[in-house]
Amino acid sequence: MGSTSAHHGEGLGRRDLIKRSAAIGLISVPTMSFLSACASSDSGGNGKVEKGTKSEKNPLGVNESAPLDFVLFDGGFGQEYAKDAIKVYETSYPKAQVKFTPTQKITTTLQPRFNGGTPPDLIDNSGAEQMDMGVLVGQKQLADLTPLLDAPSIDDPSKKVRDTLRPGIVEMGQFDGDPVWIMYYAYTVYGVWYSQKLLDSLDAKYPETWDEMLAVCEKAKKKGIAGWTYAGKHPYYVPFSLYPMIAKVGGREVLDAIDNLEPKAWEHPAVKTCFEAYYELVKKGYILKGTPGLDHIQSQTAWTEGKALFIPNGSWVENEAAKTMPADFNLAVSGPTGIDSSDKMPFGTIWASGGEPFIVPAKAKNLEGGLEQLRIMLSEASSKNFTKSVKSLTAFNGGTDGIELTPGLKSGVAALDKAGQNVVNPRLQDWYVALQKEKIGVAGIGELMAGRATPAETIKKIQKFADEAAKDSSIKHYKH
């Protein structure tokens, strides 16, 4: 089941997948040469295929005999779900030949093809060699996916594809307004993960207020169990519970201001309150000893061994930690604990968003074929197939009926139901990768959680990083 380790280079593309790639937006060095090459080269592609005739069965006008070229990131989700969706395409268009290339080296494989104007028709742009989306959009290398979103869905032609998707999916594929450039296929639930069995053994319920959180941690400490652990070497995991807590306490506009790099955004009282709450965990000794030195796998292992009660993470953790998770662990997830009844959003507010970014290049020869393959993948049958095989939800809003859901997945679905419209999706980690990972994550939150900086010092430092990014003209800036 592997690990999200691709984003720090020890073994590409194991379960780096669900959102590691998209969320943490991992771009490795080869990408940079890709960008410059992309920017300088515009040798026109040789000939798109003729469009087919649009019909009820073929709403996008796919050329029925044109070949389809599909490159998939071969990571923790494996290849089967894509191969199964290709079989459906081949059944619909028996004259079409599908060339399917699974790889972990997206940039290395695709750079020469983009440069030569002959990119594939559909790409799962993920993993350690993910191409930089902002640059691809800026260079006009991507096709607008609006025709797909406006096409009738496979299961119910009276509904458009866009009406069958989970909250936030369409918006995530946008950069500055209307066109939708990216279809995030997987759907990740972020939050505080725990063993329901361990919580029950403490005769405790998941805490809704911070006083309750401190009481639960104190109870655990008396039994020799730490309240929390986290990926100390990669502290940008901490925001998976901290950011939605900031929204819960202060309203989603606080996160929007942070995303927009607004001056003083980090000085909002809700940020201060939440940083102080987390700092209290540190000061009261509720963090597992040695956590700042642990990576994501080591912290997850300590947690599955029952050494700590809570861990901030994403829903890929069920697959990633499967090897060390006891059969009766009873994995569960919750939205973040708030402060008290004065919070602006209700308990249950949670961060959930898309992962596994699929794109159709602007110069794809068979652009309609690429869109059609995505339309097939966004059907209930394909979505169910994915969920069953890899324990993850998809962008399709449903697809869980009749499937035996694993405990974590079941808990994730319940958490989304509880959240309703109170789903937040901070964009900092898609828009400003380096700022979010190294600066806010490692230099800011990492130092706070290790007890080496106070909340006030941390806020001052992070605000300075954000101001620098806002003034940096070499960075493309995005706004809500």
Tell me the two tokens of residue 2. Answer: 């592997």
Smallest CA-to-CA distance from 307 within 230, 232, 238, 226 is with: 226
* pLDDT recorded at residue 320: 85
Domains in the chain with CATH codes: 5-188+354-403 (3.40.190.10), 190-351+427-471 (3.40.190.10)
The mean per-residue pLDDT over the stretch 240-251 comes to 98
**With contact defined as beta carbons under 8 Å apart, do 349 and 248 qualify?**
yes
Between 94 and 479, where is the model more confident?
A: 94
How does DSSP classify residue 445? I
Question: CA 403 → CA 77, 387, 389, 417, distances in Å?
Answer: 18, 8, 10, 17
* Cα 157 off chain centre by: 29
The mean per-residue pLDDT over the stretch 223-240 comes to 96
* pLDDT recorded at residue 243: 98
Instruction: State the average pLDDT for the chain.
Output: 89
pTM for this predicted structure: 0.81
* pLDDT recorded at residue 11: 30
Give CA–CA dist 456/401, Å, rounded: 48
Tell me the two tokens of residue 361. Answer: 């290049």
Question: CA 131 → CA 22, 106, 288, 357, distances in Å?
Answer: 10, 7, 36, 10
Confidence grade of residue 8 (pLDDT, cut at 50, 70, 90): very low
Longest distance between any two alpha carbons in the chain, whole Å: 71
**pLDDT beyond 70 at 39:** no
Smallest CA-to-CA distance from 172 within 193, 149, 147, 153 is with: 149
Residue by residue, DSSP assigns 323-338 as TTS-TT--EEEEPPP-
Question: Which tens digit of pLDDT belongs to each residue from 381-439?
Answer: 999 999 988 888 999 999 898 888 999 999 999 999 999 999 999 999 888 888 998 89
Between 396 and 11, where is the model more confident?
A: 396
Question: Which tens digit of pLDDT belongs to each residue from 121-153?
Answer: 999 998 878 888 878 888 899 999 999 999 999
**pLDDT beyond 80 at 27:** no
* pLDDT recorded at residue 46: 56
Question: Which tens digit of pLDDT belongs to each residue from 348-395?
Answer: 999 999 989 999 999 999 999 999 999 999 999 999 999 988 888 999
Confidence grade of residue 16 (pLDDT, cut at 50, 70, 90): very low
Which class for 264: exposed (0-12), middle (13-18), buried (19 or more C-beta within 10 A)?
exposed
Smallest CA-to-CA distance from 449 within 277, 279, 276, 231 is with: 279
* Cα 349 off chain centre by: 17
Helix (H) or strand (E) holding 122: strand 122-124
Q: Interior CA angle at 319 toward 314 and 322, to 5°?
A: 120
Give CA–CA dist 409/429, Å, rounded: 24
Tell me the two tokens of residue 48. Answer: 């798109």
**pLDDT beyond 50 at 19:** no
Question: CA 136 → CA 123, 141, 368, distances in Å?
Answer: 13, 5, 19
Question: Which tens digit of pLDDT belongs to each residue from 322-332?
Answer: 999 999 999 99
Question: CA 301 → CA 35, 94, 252, 295, 329, distances in Å?
Answer: 38, 47, 33, 10, 13
**pLDDT beyond 60 at 6:** no
The mean per-residue pLDDT over the stretch 207-224 comes to 98
